[in-house]
Amino acid sequence: MSELSRTTSTPVATIKYYQREGLLPPGLRTSPNQAQYSDEHVRRIHLIRALLGPGRLDVATARAVIGAIDSDAPLPRVFATAQRAASVRIDDHDVDAGALDRVDDLLADFAITAENPGRAAAAAVIRAFEAVGQRDADDWYRRYAEAALLVAEADLDMLEQRPSRDEKAETVVVGSVLGDALFAALRRAAQEHVSTIRYEPGRADAIRRTRSSR
Amino acid sequence: MSELSRTTSTPVATIKYYQREGLLPPGLRTSPNQAQYSDEHVRRIHLIRALLGPGRLDVATARAVIGAIDSDAPLPRVFATAQRAASVRIDDHDVDAGALDRVDDLLADFAITAENPGRAAAAAVIRAFEAVGQRDADDWYRRYAEAALLVAEADLDMLEQRPSRDEKAETVVVGSVLGDALFAALRRAAQEHVSTIRYEPGRADAIRRTRSSR
């Protein structure tokens, strides 16, 4: 275990915690004080850290998505589990029929079922957005939906590259969970970029000159 | 207060909690048992619920962004506070120089400073993504960055519609925090759409026919 700890830069206490929580399978015991760990254990530790760290999942949710990878569930089921796991928990009283109708209008061209977790989540966000007095945002919603379509196409294209069922399953989980975090991060960067270009064009040129000369 | 509770569909105990936590200012006391609340209080309660609910902020972070709205800080400062508040907390040891270089290459055309919170957050995500063995994802990153640019332009366009500094400040905060949740929700919907179109085209047609005939 101390070798596993070194290889993954993860403290032994953390590895034991992952095992206690059922996130990491035990090693193959070779003596009372020794167990053998495989490359699978190394990969799994990185996966757990990605889900609990940048992915911001809690332990129970991480356990559910890892369980979906390890099961022989068909890929659409793994996808659904990862989607639900990585979705904002929606409190039913944050959704109302009016907001659901707005989302259905917005996504009228999408072939989705009423149970899609994104549908209720989008309705909850739109309801909250309008409850705080934000208005005239239809164009904003529409442009978000268009960008989401581009991102979903990129998600599915990446998935198609993966050769085996197991690799697809892992990409589905990691891509669902980390994709949100990646997009949010890139949105922060893009906001500064667009804002600097629009309001401080001279500074934008200077920043880009400095960066390209590094 | 019971009227405020009715108007906002928020329990009195919750309103008292918001006041204790410094999220909601006290009403104007008119007698020992009575206080007067204004429309500002109603709007503020909706804002707090949006930040703590779909926005998933904790109380301390919500207090910081509300403080930024209430301050007379210049708009770029409010923007920076909202961005940091709504960003994934990055553990320094989740970022390495290699991943930062990757992000700088990816965003080479962006006029952003090294301090942009999205830069380190994107590096942490890319590092986690590759640590779990995901590879050949450069095209995926690039398409995410392109979509993020479209979303950031929509964000800034919405901001320009808002007439006053105070409305802009509130839109910055709400849009930063809820925008991530909205995009994540729409991405879930778009994934089901693209996946159904690609792998079950007959079912996609049937779903869309049913929806359009409602």
- Cβ-Cβ contacts under 8 Å for A37 (sequence gap 6 or more): A1, A3, A4, A27, A28
Distance CA(A88)–CA(B187), nearest Å, equals 12
Neighbouring CB atoms inside 10 A of A186's CB total 28
B158 contact residues in A (CB cutoff 8 A): 137, 139-140
Report the amino acid identity of residue A89: R
Question: How far from A194 is each of A11, A187, B105, CA to CA, in Å?
Answer: 42, 10, 18
A143-166 pLDDT, tens digit per residue, is 999 999 999 999 999 999 999 888
Work out the angle between the directed axes of helices A165-199 and A59-70 (0-180°, nearest 10): 130
pLDDT for the residue numbered B91: 64
How far is the alpha carbon of A126 from chain B, nearest alpha carbon, in Å? 8
Per the listing, tokens 């940091």 go with B84
Long-range pairs for B203-210 at CB < 8 Å and ≥24 separation?
B203/A111, B204/A111, B205/A111, B207/A111, B207/A112, B207/A113, B208/A109, B208/A111
pLDDT for the residue numbered B210: 81
B47 contact residues in A (CB cutoff 8 A): 132
Among A144, A56, A125, which residue's Cα sits nearest to residue B50? Answer: A125
The interface predicted TM-score of the complex, written ipTM, equals 0.89
Task: List all residues of chain A from 80 to 109 with a beta carbon under 8 Å from chain B.
Answer: 83, 86-88, 90-91, 94, 104, 107-109
pLDDT for the residue numbered B108: 93
> How buried is residue A1: exposed, middle or buried, by Cβ count under 10 Å (0-12/13-18/19+)?
middle
pLDDT for the residue numbered A167: 86
B151 touches chain A (CB under 8 A): yes
CA nearest A156 in B: which residue? B195
Q: How far is CA A13 from the centre of its chain?
A: 26
Beta carbons of A5 and A12 less than 8 angstroms apart: yes
Q: How far is CA B163 from the centre of its chain?
A: 21
pLDDT for the residue numbered A91: 64
Distance CA(B144)–CA(A147), nearest Å, equals 9
Report the amino acid identity of residue B185: A
pLDDT for the residue numbered A72: 82
pLDDT for the residue numbered B88: 60
A55 contact residues in B (CB cutoff 8 A): 128
B75 contact residues in A (CB cutoff 8 A): none
pLDDT for the residue numbered A93: 64
Per-residue pLDDT for chain B (214 aa), expressed as one digit of tens each? Answer: 889 999 998 999 999 999 999 999 988 988 888 889 988 899 899 999 989 988 888 899 899 888 888 888 887 788 888 877 766 666 666 678 889 999 999 999 999 988 888 999 999 999 989 888 888 899 999 999 999 999 999 999 999 999 988 888 889 888 988 999 999 999 999 999 999 999 888 888 888 888 777 6
Nearest CB to B197 within list A49, A111, A148: A111
Cβ contacts from A onto B, under 8 A: 335
Nearest CB to A187 within list B126, B139, B151: B151
* Model pTM score: 0.88
B75 touches chain A (CB under 8 A): no
pLDDT for the residue numbered A136: 87
> How buried is residue B97: exposed, middle or buried, by Cβ count under 10 Å (0-12/13-18/19+)?
exposed
Report the amino acid identity of residue A60: A
A76 contact residues in B (CB cutoff 8 A): 195
Assign A34 to helix, strand or coil: strand
- Look at the alpha carbons of B143, B144, B147, B152 in this order and tell me if their dihedral is positive or negative: negative
What are B103's two structure tokens? 């992000």
Question: Using the beta-carbon criterion (under 8 Å), do B122 and A189 form an inter-chain contact?
Answer: yes
Q: How far apart are the first and last CA of chain A?
A: 43
Helix (H) or strand (E) holding B153: helix B138-161
Nearest CB to B122 within list A86, A155, A186: A186
Nearest CB to A46 within list B131, B144, B212: B131
Helix (H) or strand (E) holding A30: strand A28-31
A192 contact residues in B (CB cutoff 8 A): 110-113, 116, 118
Mean per-residue pLDDT over chain A, rounded:
88
Question: Using the beta-carbon criterion (under 8 Å), do A143 and B154 form an inter-chain contact?
Answer: yes
pLDDT for the residue numbered A157: 95
> Which parts of chain A register pLDDT below 70?
86-94, 214
A105-124 pLDDT, tens digit per residue, is 999 999 998 888 899 999 99
- Cβ-Cβ contacts under 8 Å for B133 (sequence gap 6 or more): A43, A46, A170
- Please, what's the largest Cα pairwise distance for chain A? 68
